[in-house]
């Protein structure tokens, strides 16, 4: 301690004035600890250093978890805002034609979709003039198509919201947009007693936008609002 300092006076004065500059620097502290261990020799085990190293590892994991939680919270908030904006667009339509046209207007842009299709089961033909007057987002299909599309023909439970990355029979739903679809969300719609089921299909170019591991609460809310709006136009 009585030796002449090997550090320049300016740096030494800065450290003495504010030791936190050193203590808060992770790399610098690790270098100081490593230098202290080398000075003690190979025959001495620094248990305090080992404990500190383990605590440091745990702290790194906690910080990473903290960052992931914050990122997830921001994603959830952004998703909530998107659904709320899309819901308002659904409620603002004044006619059924405007209601259907919204599916190729602002709603897909808000939800970052490549394509959006409303699938209705009916006995009507797709070349019916009444259907042709509506937007291309409307698809008229035979009875039973919706459940078959959602389950891919398997005997499995039918969920209200289905998220997946592999899109079967996509051309029949998305038409010329099918080649761009990498993931989709399918909302099974209940249009009321005595009516056949319907489906709102939402296709995205991002293969990770809709995956089975994601939560479906927001999409279920949007689907609930959408099907209630549909019932109003059908009554």
**Which tops the pLDDT comparison, 41 or 177?**
177
Q: What is the mean pLDDT of residues 14-28?
A: 72
Q: Does the pTM exceed 0.75?
A: no
Q: What is the mean pLDDT of residues 104-112?
A: 90
Q: What is the mean pLDDT of residues 137-162?
A: 83
- Evaluate whether residue 33 is within a structural domain: no
d(CA 119, CA 217): 21
Q: Is the pLDDT of residue 43 over 80?
A: no
pLDDT at 36: 64
- Evaluate whether residue 186 is within a structural domain: yes
Backbone CA torsion sign across 80, 82, 88, 94: negative
pLDDT at 50: 65
pLDDT at 9: 76
pLDDT at 224: 92
Q: What's 89's domain CATH number?
A: 3.30.450.40
The three-state secondary structure class of 189 is strand
Q: Is residue 4 very low, low, confident or very high in pLDDT (cuts 50, 70, 90)? A: low
Q: Give yes or no for a contact between 139 and 192, defined as CB atoms under 8 angstroms apart.
A: no
- Evaluate whether residue 126 is within a structural domain: yes
CA distance readout (Å), 212 to 144, 165, 204, 231: 23, 8, 14, 28
The structural domain count of the chain equals: 1
- Domain of residue 192 covers 82-234
């Amino acid at each position: 301690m009585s030796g002449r300092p090997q550090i320049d006076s300016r740096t030494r004065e800065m450290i003495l004035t504010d030791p936190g500059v050193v203590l808060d620097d992770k790399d610098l502290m690790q270098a100081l600890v490593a230098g202290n261990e080398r000075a003690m020799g190979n025959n001495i085990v620094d248990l305090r250093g080992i404990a500190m190293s383990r605590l440091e590892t745990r702290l790194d994991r906690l910080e990473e978890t903290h960052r992931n939680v914050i990122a997830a919270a921001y994603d959830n908030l952004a998703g909530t805002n998107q659904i709320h904006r899309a819901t308002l667009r659904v409620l603002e339509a004044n006619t059924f034609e405007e209601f259907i046209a919204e599916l190729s207007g602002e709603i897909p842009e808000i939800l970052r979709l490549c394509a959006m299709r409303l699938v209705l089961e009916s006995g009507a033909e797709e070349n019916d003039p009444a259907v042709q007057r509506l937007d291309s987002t409307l698809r008229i299909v035979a009875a039973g198509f919706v459940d078959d599309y959602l389950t891919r023909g398997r005997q499995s439970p039918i969920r209200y919201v289905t998220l997946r990355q592999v899109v079967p029979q996509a051309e029949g739903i998305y038409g010329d947009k099918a080649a761009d679809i990498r993931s989709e969300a399918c909302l099974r719609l209940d249009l009321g007693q005595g009516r056949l089921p319907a489906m709102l299909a939402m296709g995205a170019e991002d293969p990770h936008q809709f995956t089975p591991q994601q939560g479906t609460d927001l999409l279920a809310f949007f689907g609930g609002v959408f099907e209630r709006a549909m019932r109003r136009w059908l009554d």
